[in-house]
Structure 1
Amino acid sequence: MRGLKVVTIGGGSSYTPELIEGFIKRYDEMPIRELWLVDIPAGQEKQKIVGALAKRMVQKAGVPMEIHLTLDRREALPGADFVTTQMRIGLLDARAKDERIPLKYGVIGQETNGPGGLFKGLRTIPVIMEICRDMEELCPDAWLINFTNPAGMVTEAVLRYSRMQKVVGLCNVPIGMKMGVAELLGVDQHRVHIDFAGLNHMVFGLNVYVDGKKATDTLLDKLSSGESGITMQNIVDLGWEKDFIKALGILPCPYHRYYYQTETMLKHELEAAEKEGTRAEVVQRVEEELFELYKDPHLDHKPAQLELRGGAYYSDAACSLIHSIYTDKRDVQPVNVRNNGAIAGIPHDSAVEVNCLITRDGPVPLAVGELPVAVRGLVQQIKSFERLAAEAAVTGDYHKALLAMTINPLVPSDKIAKQILDEMLEAHKEHLPQFFKASS
């Protein structure tokens, strides 16, 4: 086997050691001869720290994987087999604005939901489209594995506005849900299977199985008894109203709290922002500690503290997906892909998050039919929001952005939508040239 070339854009991310660990663990079946870590000048210091740690990890493992660092993605891309993206346009300072500005208007400020999710998409999608154009030219046969948030909206944009068809969006939420279910049921996670369907950060577990036997009712009984709400590092566990969970009959994801517990989540965010800062500001402190650890010349493994980051296990999901495509493993993984009729009521050409059979030709979505009527409308509303947001990001159309903001269920009125939109456009002006060119 000639081995693989993988390019990671956003290579200076704190998640990268997990990616390296995953590639090392799978090296015998998935030999990566070159791994290129690409970043921008503002991220160069972190890139150097992470790159040095990556080289120590590879040396310790004794695998012949070359680690390359560059600030020029066009230098890295030629001949790539897989390109992974893990970027944050505007860095954590931009995320802090996404979180704080909506709170001023009594609206949830969150990285991928509501106004914050809209603006992360508006900043990110144009850059992803540039990467796609470079890939079309320099590595047209490569797979784009995107775990840059908002992953569903980004995947939607790539499918609609680029020629790239070999694109998959990834999220760590289904992994976290599966681990939470296994813990709640007291079984090893490998015995658990969940039928996932919906959208990114809007996914549901339609059925839960243990050893192939349906365990949905048992799980919902435990959830409704208040034993755990199943959550993740960046979302407070408020539990669930027991009768609501029983009535819903399926497993919600942690992000559904923003829609089903809006008032309480907003109150928590306001209090947390006052006491300890927004999530972005908390993450900045976590990252400072991580990079201090990464600097240690004796560190040659992924530190356990990385799991305190909200996106823990993203990179492991990427490694599993790349491994399954490369080896034609034909296992089942929940990923973001073109719907192709898997979920009825969602356009065939839209991105959905659903269980897929992973083959050498890519993920094949597994049909689930209609979503339960209780959740169908919310999923469709968020899909409409994502489509308008993606169009606004690509075109710089102010009115499309306003429409997307207004129809988002976390935004209470058109007036507030316009106020938030205008303030956030100005706050992020540096990273949104498409809007200011269009209006000049």
Structure 2
Amino acid sequence: MSFKIAIIGAGSVGFTKKLFTDILCVPEFKDIEFALTDISEHNLQMIKAILDRIVEANRLPTRVTATTDRRKALEGARYVISCVRVGGLEAYADDIRIPLKYGIDQCVGDTICAGGILYGQRNIPVILDFCKDMREVAETNVKFLNYANPMAMNTWAAIEYGKVDTVGLCHGVQHGAEQIAEVLGAKSRQELDYVCSGINHQTWFIDLRLNGRKIGKDELVAAFEAHPVYSQQEKLRIDVLKRFGVYSTESNGHLSEYLPWYRKRPDEITRWIDMSDWIHGETGGYLRHSTETRNWFETEYPQFLQAASQPIDPGKRSNEHASHILEALETNRVYRGHFNVRNNGVITNLPQDAIIESPGFVDRFGINMAAGITLPEACAATCIASINVQRMSVHAAISGDIDLLKLAVLHDPLVGAVSTPEEVWQMVDEMVVAQAAWLPQYAHAVPAARERLSTSAVKTREWAGAARRSVRSIEELRAEKAALKQAG
């Protein structure tokens, strides 16, 4: 087989390498072309050197190109994969820092909440540019695989306004299933069969079977509470399981941001999170982790390049969906996974226009979703609250309507639990002014927002958050890795 895959945001070096090696685990794909594109020439050259080393070490005919000219990379592409972060860590820092001044404490801030909504405002104009290029220069039936957050907003914009065949991909379902298999004592993940449905980062395991035996709420609660690690790291998720009756796919820290109950007071935050790793609820945890990862990669790049000389091991192919979807579409080997698509009746009690995450099967005819799923009422209510925020956020990003953007933020569950309307209006003004370089659709609104900020009487505070940690130095990271290696 010979076709072209374009990866936008290929400077996300570690993730690009994973996707690349996964895809090359499919024997039929050895003759394909990977076209890498990014706004950073430096990052592009680093990842290209790594992928070239992999190709050379495995004696493959695979072709790898790299260019900052996105349109050139997309020419003739059959598949386009996006893993971009518009605004980089600079804008992301404002997604965390500014809401903290108004009492909004986020762990990740990339899906909804104040940070996720502004992240979507930065991404959506760029997503539409991607789609325009795809329509004009890629293969006629190009498929767009979006890995970038905010997943639902990006996918919504690409489908409704970009008019490109799009699927959103995430690994939260797989990670949740791994936890459940572990606490239930499964010998392998294959023993666990499950139906997981909802929206991205608020997906719910509504049917669980271990070796064909149905697993109920009480058994699952007991299994998590008996686990020596998860009982401490996933306190909030376990509490939601007890009250809702089903387990959420999303991590303790992520889930805490989408609900109005657990992060609205500092003392409540520390009660429900765990500081053993950022993902369990640390204030700005993913920003710290991302910063450390970037610094580590820059410093240790020669080691990453050397490691690329190892043979590809198909047995270590990851559970990221992309390679499995491409394999199914091109070879007709059926793949079952969980995909982000427009609802269109798949989930009966969620809005039809929403981007849902639910089970589907892939073969040469495309992605075929399992329809007619009904969520438990509490799960549907929680999802609908987020969907309403996502819809307003997408429409605001398209129109550049700053008043609609403020209403979207106001209706966010956690923001609404913490902030007054006056605070929300000022916070959005402050975020739009700070991020104006990445928000072209709001250029007309920035002068008035800046003027309002100069006369506003709304009080803020400089606050690090309830559970903030400093970015660790390279020396500290080396010491930690050495200690972990010595411990076994």
Cα distance in 1 for partners of 2:243, 2:151 equals 29
> Which amino acid in the other structure matches residue 219 of structure 1?
L
- Report the structure number with the largest CA radius of gyration: 2
> Which amino acid in the other structure matches residue 34 of structure 2?
L
- Output one character per residue of 1:270-329: Cα deviation in whole Å (capped at 9) or x when no partner: x999x99753133212222124333344231689xxxxxxxxx99832222222222233
Cα distance in 1 for partners of 2:255, 2:318 equals 19
Task: Measure how far apart 1:358 and its partner are.
Answer: 1.4
Cα distance in 2 for partners of 1:246, 1:174 equals 19
Aligned CA distance change for structure 1 residues 126 and 243 (closer, same or farther; 3 Å): closer
* Correspondence for 2:373: 369
8 A contact 1:20–1:57 mirrored in 2:
no
TM-score, scaled relative to structure 1: 0.88
Give me the CA root mean square deviation. Answer: 2.8
Cα distance in 1 for partners of 2:237, 2:394 equals 34
Aligned CA distance change for structure 1 residues 433 and 242 (closer, same or farther; 3 Å): closer
Cα distance in 2 for partners of 1:302, 1:395 equals 49
Q: Are positions 1:158 and 2:158 aligned together?
A: yes
- Output one character per residue of 1:221-267: Cα deviation in whole Å (capped at 9) or x when no partner: 2124464549xxxxx93424866523422111323233252246755
Out of 357, 360, 363, which is 1:359 matched to?
363
8 A contact 2:195–2:208 mirrored in 1:
yes
Out of 400, 425, 429, which is 1:422 matched to?
429
> Which deviates further from its counterpart, 293-302 or 370-379?
293-302
* Correspondence for 1:45: 42
Cα distance in 2 for partners of 1:104, 1:237 equals 27
Percent identity between the two aligned chains: 28
Q: Are positions 1:221 and 2:222 aligned together?
A: yes
Q: Are positions 1:248 and 2:244 aligned together?
A: yes
Cα distance in 1 for partners of 2:411, 2:90 equals 26
Task: Measure how far apart 1:340 and its partner are.
Answer: 1.6
* Correspondence for 1:121: 120
Aligned CA distance change for structure 1 residues 47 and 348 (closer, same or farther; 3 Å): same
TM-score, scaled relative to structure 2: 0.80
Q: How does 1:81-100 map to 2 (within 5 A)?
A: 81-100=78-97
Aligned CA distance change for structure 1 residues 265 and 96 (closer, same or farther; 3 Å): farther
Query: Structure 2: where are the runs of 5+ without partners?
Result: 312-316, 448-488
8 A contact 1:84–1:145 mirrored in 2:
yes
Cα distance in 2 for partners of 1:199, 1:418 equals 27
Aligned CA distance change for structure 1 residues 214 and 301 (closer, same or farther; 3 Å): farther
Q: How does 1:288-299 map to 2 (within 5 A)?
A: 288-296=295-303, 297-299=305-307
* Correspondence for 1:308: none
Cα distance in 2 for partners of 1:185, 1:239 equals 17
Aligned CA distance change for structure 1 residues 242 and 114 (closer, same or farther; 3 Å): closer
Cα distance in 1 for partners of 2:16, 2:318 equals 10
* Correspondence for 1:432: 439
Aligned CA distance change for structure 1 residues 278 and 347 (closer, same or farther; 3 Å): closer
* Correspondence for 2:235: 239
Query: Structure 1: where are the runs of 5+ without partners?
Result: 231-235, 304-312
Q: How does 1:25-424 map to 2 (within 5 A)?
A: 25-26=25-26, 28-40=27-39, 43-109=40-106, 110-139=109-138, 140-164=140-164, 166-187=165-186, 188-217=188-217, 218-225=219-226, 227-229=228-230, 237-240=233-236, 245-253=241-249, 254=251, 255-258=254-257, 259=259, 260-263=261-264, 266-267=269-270, 278-296=285-303, 297-300=305-308, 316-412=320-416, 413-424=420-431
* Correspondence for 2:9: 10
Aligned CA distance change for structure 1 residues 244 and 378 (closer, same or farther; 3 Å): closer
